Structure 1
Amino acid sequence: MILCDIGNTSTKFFIDKNIKNYYKNDKIPKFKDDIFYISVNEKATKKLLKKNPHAKNLASFIDFKTSYIGLGVDRAVACYFEENSVVIDAGSAITVDIIEDKKHIGGFIFLGLNSFFKAYKNISKKLEISKSDFEKNINLDKIPLQTKDAVFFALLKSIILPIKEICKNKNIIFTGGNGEFLSQFFENSIYKKDLIFENMKRIIDANNSPS
């Protein structure tokens, strides 16, 4: 069985506990095994189905109640088994979803870190930074005295403070490519690299392998 998460920037396959990424111009191979997928990208979905027409869309098996209009299926899957948590998927965008008493009560969306970095670079080359420039010992309680620290201070504070304001005593679950990096700024957090794929597998098992 192969699990597939079709996002805005890439199509991820979970095969034998390993993730394989395919980007916009990459060719999607034909697989012999059964494929179960979720998608927020119609064009990339058509690309998958052209080579793998029998791939099964898991969305119809996901019963996730929320008043949030337009919640992506990937966010629903990430939150699916939570009871009182804040679930943060830090990828091309940083999505934040709040679960209380097993109910999704809403959420919000930041730019992804790479988009922040590009925005600063577009303002001035002097503001160009990358994650590798970051100093782990930066003091977020002290006004910065150099440009790179000043950029990171503003960037991180703009993400951290709203999350801390809404998380209260909830556990924070990070996933996504930059999830591990951001999780270090929250004491009550854990990082689950494969959260979406793990939850997809649990949903399939709960539905007796839908076909």
Structure 2
Amino acid sequence: MLLCDIGNTSYHFLDGSREYKQDVKTFDPSSIKEKVYFICVNNTLHVRLKSLSNWIDLSEYIDKEKYYKTMGIDRIFAVESVSNGIIIDAGSAVTVDVVKNDEFMGGFIYPGIKAMQKTYENISPALAYSFNFECDLDIMPKNSQDAISYGYLKTLYCEVMSHQLPIILTGGNALEFKKIFPDAKIDTALIFHAMKKIIKENEDRLC
């Protein structure tokens, strides 16, 4: 079974247990002749893939009424993979989604690490620090690096912890956020788990 999670910069494939990526600018999806189950956040590529009969869009098999209209399909699939928990997808943006008893309760979007660091730097070159994910969030900072780190991390930390749910981390910066959520589970394959679940639930329709 070949699965593919398509973003704005890459095709992320799972072939059995092997993961690999292809650049959206250079990869030709028509070069694959076997059946591919996919989701896609890239609108231009999505239109192109519709013309390839062996590329099966799994977003058509989701009950989108459970989610708000503009919610990204990648977030929806991450939520579909969890019964109870709070999902933190730490990428270029940080998305946080709450799931209780298989029901999506809502979520929010937070600036990613690079975006927020750039914001501080734009305010003043004196604030051009990297974030210290090991700063003590129980003590008010007394240096500039920890001051901006605290401002960024404490708000997110308090909101996430207030839900008292298991925390699942995914995305490129999951390891950094693990430092402030030490009990969290890292699972970078959440979307692939959901894709397998949707395929299993729709076996008759997908045959």
TM-score range (shorter-chain normalised) is: 0.7 to 0.9
Runs of 4 or more above 3 Å deviation: 8-11, 46-50
State the partner residue of 1:27: 26
CA distance in 2 between counterparts of 1:127 and 1:5 reads: 36
TM-score by length of 1: 0.82
d(CA) in 2 for partners of 1:127 and 1:146? 11
Cα distance between partner residues in 2 of 1:135 and 1:183: 9
Instruction: Give me the identity figure in percent.
Output: 33
Q: TM-score, normalised by structure 2?
A: 0.84
Structure 2: where are the runs of 5+ without partners?
none
| Contact 1:65–1:104 (Cα < 8 Å) also in 2 | no
Give me the whole-angstrom Cα distance separating, in 2, the residues matched to 1:3 and 1:46. Answer: 18
Match of 2:195 among 174, 183, 200: 200
Instruction: Please state how far the C-alpha of 1:189 moved relative to its aligned partner.
Output: 1.8
Counterpart for residue 18 of structure 1:
19
| Residue 176 of structure 2 corresponds to residue 177 of structure 1 | no
- CA displacement, residues 107-136 of structure 1 (integer Å, 9 cap, x when unaligned): 1111111211221222222222336xx363
Q: For residues 100 and 69 of structure 2, what CA distance do their matches in structure 1 show?
A: 18
- 2:161 counterpart of 1:164: yes
Q: Which residue of structure 1 aligns with residue 110 of structure 2?
A: 110
Task: Please list every run of 5 or more consecutive structure 1 residues that lacks an aligned counterpart in the other structure.
Answer: none
Instruction: Describe the shift of the 1:172–1:65 C-alpha distance in structure 2 as closer, same or farther (beyond 3 A).
Output: farther
Q: Structure 2 vs 1, CA of residues 104 and 119 (structure 1 numbering), >3 Å: closer, same or farther?
A: same
Q: Which residue of 2 aligns with 1:99?
A: 99
2:151 paired with 1:149: no
Which residue does 2:43 correspond to in 1?
A: 42
Count of matched residue positions in the alignment of Structure 1 and Structure 2: 203
For 2:65 and 2:144, locate their aligned partners in 1 and report how far apart those are by CA, in whole Å.
45
Q: CA RMSD in A?
A: 2.5
Distance 1:107 1:6 in 2: 22
Taking the aligned partners of 2:62 and 2:22, their CA distance within structure 1 comes to 24
Cα pair 1:4 1:37 within 8 Å, conserved: yes
